[in-house]
A = this chain, B = another copy of it.
Amino acid sequence: MDNQRTQAIKRHSFRETTCQSCTLRSLCLPLSLTTKNLEKLDSIIARGRPFEKGEMLFRQGESFGSLFALRSGCVKTYSVTDSGEEQITGFYLPGELVGLSGIDTDIFPVNAIAIETTTVCEIPYPKFEGLTDEIPELKRQLISSLSKTIRRDMQMMLLLSQKDAEARIANFLLDLSTRIERRGYSADFIYLAMSRNEIANYLGLAVETVSRIFSRLQKAQAINVNGRAVDILDVAALTKAAGSCLFNEKKDSREEIPSVNTG
């Protein structure tokens, strides 16, 4: 069954795609480039065979050579400390850029591994950097991606330092939902590419806690969990569980919540 899916994805003519024809164009670096500049960008991009589940895009410590834009699938990045602990630092979906953290050291500070069959556009960085000199818009796009990553990380820090387990999970789900919706899919259904263990690691929780919270949220009718398939039944409830998080991109503004500050 997994084989069938894999085969189906493989049949996609991944080699033939161009930035011009890419459905993810509006989410990715090409955003707002002129046709001519789009061609320039497209000309430096390498599109290889898909990465199968478990294959690594790059390894921690390896010399930084390329950025990777995801076209399909899912990638996680993680780093390993001296003592062997793993810390997952991010999950990446189609349209998102992997590898940004390596730019300034020439060394990837993390591992990147496909957690399901994944196709990517490989963007050789030296060439790309050359292009950013010619195309200010592309430079702006890159800087924007970096800045966005920083804001995302800040939100993650907030989550980890102030929120309890339930809020972390709720935020995690809402975040995925938003990112999926951005690609035009239904925001109400999430197929988790990652295991409970990976979620737990990412969110700084024990696996058991993740499992328990999933059950609790299901009991509360906020979600419906079936293994890795998650239906979001009650966005409002989930949002409430998530707690007020900075720039809650997922904001049901049906009713204004007055900011009740006692004091």
Interface residue ranges, A against B (CB under 8 Å): 79, 81-85, 87, 89, 100-105, 109-110, 129, 132-133, 136, 139-140, 142-151, 153-154, 156-158, 160-162, 201-204, 243-248, 257, 259, 261
Contacts and interface: CB of A to CB of B under 8 A. Distances in A.
Contacts of A142: 143
Given A101-B147, A133-B136, 7 more contacts: A82-B244, A103-B143, A104-B146, A109-B246, A133-B139, A157-B157, A161-B204
A83 B263 CA distance: 12
A101 B81 CA distance: 27
Contacts of A105: 147, 151
28 contacts: A79-B154, A81-B245, A81-B246, A82-B244, A82-B259, A83-B243, A83-B244, A84-B261, A85-B162, A85-B244, A87-B158, A87-B161, A101-B154, A104-B145, A105-B147, A105-B151, A109-B246, A143-B143, A146-B146, A146-B150, A149-B150, A150-B153, A153-B153, A156-B157, A157-B157, A157-B160, A160-B161, A161-B201
Contact of A84 (B143, B156, B246, B259): B259
Nearest to A150: B101
Copies in the complex: 2
The interface residues of chain A, by DSSP majority, are classed as: helix
Contacts of A104: 143-148, 151
A204 B153 contact: no
Contacts of A149: 150
A210 to B, nearest CB: 13
A132 B203 CA distance: 37
Nearest to A247: B109
A161 B85 CA distance: 12
Contacts of A201: 161
A125 to B, nearest CB: 10
A133 B87 CA distance: 37
Given A139-B132, A147-B101, A147-B146, A82 B257 contact: yes
Contacts of A129: 136, 140
Given A84-B259, A85-B162, A109 B143 contact: no
B87 A157 contact: yes
A261 B85 CA distance: 10
A203 B246 CA distance: 17
A102 B151 CA distance: 8
A162 B206 CA distance: 10
